[in-house]
Structure 1
Amino acid sequence: MQNIRAILFDKDGTLFDFQATWGAWAQALLQEFAAGDQGRLDAMAEAIDFDLAAARFRPESAVIAGTGTEVVNLLSPVLPGVDPRWLEQRIAEAARAAPLVEAVPLRPLLQGLRDRGCKLGVATNDYESVGRDHLSDVIELFDFIAGFDSGFGAKPEPGMLLGFARACDLAPRDILMVGDSHHDLLAGQAAGMPTLGVLTGVATAADLAPVADILRPDIGHIPALLGVS
Structure 2
Amino acid sequence: MGSIRGLLFDKDGTLFDFRATWGGWSKRLLLELAAEAGAVPETLGRAVGFDLASGEFAPDSAVIAHTVPEIAALLLPHLPGMRAAALVERMNALSAEAEPVPAVPLVPLFQRFRAMGLRIGLVTNDGEVPARAHLASAGVEGFFDYVAGFDSGHGAKPDPGPLLAFARAERLTPSEVVMVGDSRHDLIAGKAAGMPVVAVLTGVAEAGELAPVADAVLPDIGHLPDWIAARTPVHA
Structure 1 length normalisation: TM-score?
Answer: 0.96
Which of 170, 192, 195 in structure 2 is aligned with 1:193? Answer: 195
Trace 1:11-26 onto structure 2 (pairs within 5 A). Answer: 11-26=11-26
Q: Which amino acid aligns with 2:213?
A: V
Secondary structure of 1:63's partner? helix
Residue in 2 that maps onto 1:67: 67
Q: Number of residues paired by the alignment?
A: 228
Residue in 1 that maps onto 2:168: 166
Question: By percentage of residues, which structure has more helix?
Answer: 2
Secondary structure of 1:188's partner? helix
Whole-Å separation in 1 of the counterparts to 2:184 and 2:227: 21
Whole-Å separation in 2 of the counterparts to 1:52 and 1:162: 37
Give deviations 1:43-74, integer Å, cap 9, x for gaps.
Answer: 10110010111112111112210001001101
Residue in 2 that maps onto 1:177: 179
State whether residues 2 and 226 of structure 1, in contact with CA within 8 Å, keep that contact through their aligned partners in structure 2.
Answer: no
Structure 2 length normalisation: TM-score?
Answer: 0.93
Q: Which runs of 4+ in 1 moved over 3 A?
A: 36-39
Residue 138 in 1 paired to residue 140 in 2? yes
Task: Give 1:35 deviation, angstroms.
Answer: 1.2
State whether residues 125 and 147 of structure 1, in contact with CA within 8 Å, keep that contact through their aligned partners in structure 2.
Answer: yes
Q: Cα distance 1:214–1:81, how it changes in 2: closer, same or farther (>3 A)?
A: same
Q: Which amino acid aligns with 1:81?
A: G
Trace 1:101-120 onto structure 2 (pairs within 5 A). Answer: 101-120=101-120
State whether residues 179 and 190 of structure 2, in contact with CA within 8 Å, keep that contact through their aligned partners in structure 1.
Answer: yes
Secondary structure of 1:35's partner? helix
Trace 1:118-133 onto structure 2 (pairs within 5 A). Answer: 118-133=118-133
State whether residues 99 and 134 of structure 2, in contact with CA within 8 Å, keep that contact through their aligned partners in structure 1.
Answer: no
CA RMSD, Structure 1 to Structure 2 (Å): 1.4
Trace 1:91-110 onto structure 2 (pairs within 5 A). Answer: 91-110=91-110
State whether residues 2 and 227 of structure 1, in contact with CA within 8 Å, keep that contact through their aligned partners in structure 2.
Answer: no
Whole-Å separation in 1 of the counterparts to 2:101 and 2:72: 24
Residue in 2 that maps onto 1:226: 228
Unaligned runs of 5+ in 2: 231-236
Residue in 2 that maps onto 1:30: 30
Unaligned runs of 5+ in 1: none
Task: Give 1:152 deviation, angstroms.
Answer: 0.6
Q: Cα distance 1:110–1:41, how it changes in 2: closer, same or farther (>3 A)?
A: same
